[in-house]
Amino acid sequence: MIPQHLATRPEWICRACGQPCPCPQARVRLAAVHQETGKLGRIGYEMLELAAKELPDTPVAELWDRFVAWTEPVRQP
Ligand SMILES: [Zn+2]
């Protein structure tokens, strides 16, 4: 069975490709599933909340970029 691009916790490393979660493939999958419903940002926040507890040594700014920043719609100038 091909492993899915899901986080191994509490390390938050992708079990399929070994990159920090959510890896690029996971972001594509999450966006495909949640963008239409408008819940993508909320999913990002929920992951941030869990990860902040489980990765206390990681700066919040880094967690923000990793879990939330990419979920925000691209703003047109
Ligand atoms: Zn992955």
Instruction: Give per-residue pLDDT as tens, 30-64.
Output: 999 987 888 999 999 999 999 999 999 999 999 99
CA of 38 to the centre of ligand 1 (A): 23
CA of 1 to the centre of ligand 1 (A): 15
Confidence of residue 73 (pLDDT cuts 50, 70, 90): confident
Q: Are 31 and 76 a contacting pair, CB within 8 Å? A: no
CA of 77 to the centre of ligand 1 (A): 32
CA of 65 to the centre of ligand 1 (A): 17
Phi-psi region of 58 (alpha: psi -120 to 50; beta: other; left: phi over 0): beta
Confidence of residue 3 (pLDDT cuts 50, 70, 90): confident
Q: What is the pLDDT of residue 76?
A: 65
DSSP letters spanning 10-26: TTTEETTT-SBSSPHHH
Mean pLDDT of 23-33: 94
Q: What predicted TM-score, i.e. pTM, was given to this entire model?
A: 0.85
